[in-house]
Chain A
Amino acid sequence: MKRSFAYALSLTLSLTAAALAQGATTVRLGYFPNLTHAAALVGLERGTFQKELGAGVKLDAKSFVAGTALNEAFAAGQIDIGYIGPGPAINGAARGLPLQIVAGASNAGAVLVARKDAPIRSVKDLAGKRVAVPTLGNTQDISLRHLLAENGLKAQSDGGNVTIQPVAPADVAAAFATKQIDAALVPEPWGALLEARGGRLVGDQKTVWRGGDYPTTLVIVNTTFAAKNPELVRAFLRAHAASVKFVNTNRPAAQAAISRQLEKLTGEKIDARVLQRALARTEITTNFNLDALKEYGDLNKEAGYARTLPDFTKLVNLDYLKSATQGQGR
């Protein structure tokens, strides 16, 4: 007993020493079970991340319901690399979280769907209704508040009559069925799924904001982690870029991979046609519009979630992505 304990201890010590000598041996990845995180889903399902990071590095992937929860894990130092929406990313940076945006992951892909028996045909009809977003303060919540303001409406928390209710996207269908919620602004594939179950599309990915040219998911890194492990960040981004490319060049296989991951994470088996429709409304890409990102910062303030904005020149760092994809030809 004693000997095995001593052995285990010495093994642990030597492993820790090895870890300290070689930098991190674990990459902790955060992402959500949404189609807008397709690159993460495909990369995990096909083992692309693990392949690029190498056999000596452990990939520890955790899924979150929304960016706000991921931000919390980030603040607690539990996540090294994350797929997250611009809202929480900007908010976190403004509060001084050590994060940097290193790549885009998807654009557009958020839609407004109403319950079929609710009399909602336009955004204006949301007056007096209950609208679900993934969580308060997340990207869709900020978009919704902007959409309401544009239509002369206000949230109940600001003295208006639209109730904004945080509901996990996978639970919206159930909330529709029990009439607890009248409409939802959700990321794909949940929008397409609600539509398939009889929900009415009130605003598509383009009407939601900027004609569809807005980032929905970004890749962020913990700056302390990145400074210590630039090679791991580059390796990760190589895998990220490869996954993005795979989604765009090999739709059927990518869709199957996404479907399998979503089923694993949410227990929801999504019909191939639904997924196809959802993917058509989402642009999977490593690029994003910087102006749109800055505008998100302004919307964050407009929504009352931020008082200050981060320094965008420091927040966005595309050097890792550039050197990672240049190294592609090695």
Chain B
Amino acid sequence: MWMAQIVGILAVLFVWWLVTDVLKVWPAYILPPPEAVLEEFSYGLFGEAPGGRLTQSILNSLRRVAIGYVVALALGVLIGTLLASSRALRETVGGWLTAIQSIPSIAFVPLAILWFGLNERAVLFVVILEGLIPVALAVSAALQNVPPAWITAGRTLGARGLRLYTKVLLPASVPHLATGARLAWSFAWRALIGAELLTSNPGLGQALETGRNTANMALVLATLVVVGALGGLFDLALRRVETRVRRDYGLETAL
């Protein structure tokens, strides 16, 4: 697998180098050559100030998405639990959440700016909103799908009220929660970059905007690679966790 991955990347780099440096199909300000992007990487990641901005951007974005993600998970579990407890809530609020999920996160940014100002809170609002919905829906669905026999067994063994939730229902919904948490990550990450782009808080979104403003396509490409790589790596890690959880619950056979 790793070999195929490396060959694939080398092939892309080769074609890129061919059309930019050798054939010069487009001018460098439209499509910069690989070495220009490499220069942006070394300058942005390891350069002395004012270099090293890409590192700062990565750290800022990760910090922001971490805060947003944790809050989204907590709120998502809470809302999901509430939804599962009442059919009326599911049919109203649950439906609204599904509708809200279909709105692109970037559409909430203008509202967030008006409510919170051009600051980090506006970004966090959008990230949390996007992150909590998949979690809430997953938890709500999971709680409803807990086999009735487990609930009866739990009751028989003396679990009632809150204890029924913490000891039986929530543990039973962990596999669904893992799927929701992975979805929430990709929603949150996309929302973050979009919100940073529009509110211009120091971060990867702002790095994109700076690249655009200074006609620096190499910086734009370097930032896109970082956004894609980080998003992909976290998704991969969460997918591993999800597979492990599902396997432990006997929902998936070992690969």
Q: Is the CB of A95 within 8 A of B56?
A: no
Q: Which of A68, A95, A158, A175 contacts B49 (CB 8 A)?
A: A158
**A137 and B28 contact, CB distance less than 8 A:** no
Question: Do B50 and A75 touch across chains, with their CB atoms under 8 A apart?
Answer: no
Q: Decide yes or no whether B117 CB sits under 8 A from chain A.
A: yes
Roughly how many angstroms separate A91 CA and B216 CA in the complex, as a whole number?
Answer: 9
Cα separation A88 to B210 with both chains bound (whole Å): 12
Interface size on A, residues (CB 8 A): 35
Knowing A96-B27, A156-B202, A180-B118 touch, does A136 contact B50 (C-beta < 8 A)? no
Q: Is A71 an interface residue (CB 8 A)?
A: yes
Residues of B within 8 A of A95 (CB): 28-29, 214-217
Q: Is the CB of A159 within 8 A of B30?
A: no
Q: Which residues of B contact A130 (CB under 8 A)?
A: 118
A307 an interface residue at 8 Å Cβ cutoff? Answer: yes
Say if the beta carbon of B190 comes within 8 Å of chain A. no
Residue-wise, chain A 47-58 has the 8 Å CB interface mask toward B (1 for contact) of 000000000000
Q: Are B215 and A91 interface neighbours, CB within 8 A?
A: yes
B189-233: contact bitstring with A at CB < 8 Å (1 yes, 0 no)?
000000000001010001001101111110000000000000000
* Contact string against A for B residues 40-60, beta-carbon threshold 8 Å, 1 for contact and 0 otherwise: 000100000111010011000
Task: Evaluate contact between A75 and B215: CB separation under 8 angstroms.
Answer: yes
B51 with A68: CB separation less than 8 A: no
- List the B residue with the shortest CB-CB distance to A301: B50
Q: For B217, what are the chain A residues with a Cβ–Cβ distance below 8 Å?
A: 95
| B212 contacts A72, C-beta separation under 8 Å | yes
Residues of B within 8 A of A (CB): 27-30, 39, 43, 49-51, 53, 56-57, 117-119, 200, 202, 206, 209-210, 212-217
**What would 11 more interface pairs be, CB under 8 Å, given A91-B215, A137-B210, A178-B117?**
A68-B214, A95-B217, A136-B214, A157-B206, A163-B202, A175-B118, A180-B118, A180-B119, A304-B53, A306-B214, A307-B39
